Structure 1
Amino acid sequence: MTLQQKLAALSSFSQPTAASAASWVSAWQNQGSWADYNFDWSTDLCSTSPDQPLGFDFRMPCRRHDFGYRNYKAVSLFPANKPRIDDAFYFDMKQVCARYSTIPRGTCNGLAWTYYQAVKEFGTLNVTQAQIERIRQAAEQAALTAEQATPTAEQATPTAEQAAPTAEQATPTAEQATPTAEM
């Protein structure tokens, strides 16, 4: 295995796409097949941040993120690849969030964005429980506001009386019906 082959594999495992994520998960599940590449598969999951904030399981995205960071650092190509690795991390978390219905998905996406901003800015995850709680509260408030703004079926559907014009409204007056000659 050459350095070029290792770099090609690293690149294929660190793209912000479903195919790349699936390829990496397959490799992670069968690490022995990749022994010649001498990859570092170690992980501290989401570092000091919760791995499953509010029950959303970000462990696999954190594993792939650690893999990208550790292995690109090992070949001294980390700075050039960090933005893509961080983007793949965000992509992976959004894939986790996509499995949820609308209201919890909003909370999950808020957490994913916060985790992404932390690694993008600081290169590490250090999201506090207080930040997670603020996101949960904001998502609940947004859901409540959306619920209050959405009319019920009864409110959205006009009654027959509201929809149909009255006889007076439907019948034009003589003045409205008779065209006038322009001079």
Structure 2
Amino acid sequence: MTKAQKIKKLASLSGNSGASRDRWHAALTQHLQGKAAIKKYRFDWGTDYCSGAPEKIAGGYNFTFSCYRHDFGYRNYKKTVGKKAFKKSHKARIDKAFYTDMKSACGAKFWADPYTPSQRKKLKAACLKTAKKYYEAVVAVG
């Protein structure tokens, strides 16, 4: 596995799109199943999820996978390209993907929603506000 191949695969798994998010979920599944197709990249799949901030928030919204994918991007790019190159060329894209992933989580539709439409609207607004705070935190500190 060359460095260029690893970077190309990382880019496909950490981009700011639904397709990239879907590829990351598929890669995570392959990793959990021990598949050679993903093992060959020797990615770091470690995570602390949202670094102590709640992953699950009021209304049933869940940022667990958003935070996991964000950690995946940070950890693997830093190891592959170094911290300086990571901050210059990759951090902003990974942070933006994180924000998009969280906003997508805030758009979840619950088939057995116990809340009234008015309550759901308020909960969704609170979710989006939390997503923005998490995004601003990683931009500032990450």
TM-score, length basis structure 2: 0.82
CA distance in 2, matches of 1:98, 1:50: 18
CA distance in 2, matches of 1:38, 1:6: 9
Runs of 5+ in structure 1 lacking a partner?
A: 124-183
Q: What is the root-mean-square deviation in Å for CA atoms of aligned residues?
A: 1.2
Percent identity between the two aligned chains = 43
Query: 1:38 deviation in Å?
Result: 0.6
Which residue in the other structure is 2:64 paired with? 59
* Matched ranges for 1:63-142 at <5 A: 63-75=68-80, 76=82, 77-79=85-87, 80-100=89-109, 101-123=120-142
**SS of 2:40's equivalent?**
helix
Which residue in the other structure is 1:14 paired with? 14
CA distance in 2, matches of 1:118, 1:17: 21
Query: 1:39 deviation in Å?
Result: 0.3
- Which one has a bigger Cα radius of gyration? 1
TM-score, length basis structure 1: 0.64
Residue identity matched to 2:52? T
Where relative contact order (Cα < 8 A, 6+ residues apart) is larger, the structure is 2
Residue identity matched to 1:3? K
1:90-119 deviations in Å (ceiling 9; x for gaps) = 000001001154332111100100100000
Q: Tell me the matched-pair count.
A: 123
Query: 1:53 deviation in Å?
Result: 2.6
Runs of 5+ in structure 2 lacking a partner?
A: 110-119
CA distance in 1, matches of 2:92, 2:128: 19
Which residue in the other structure is 2:117 paired with? none
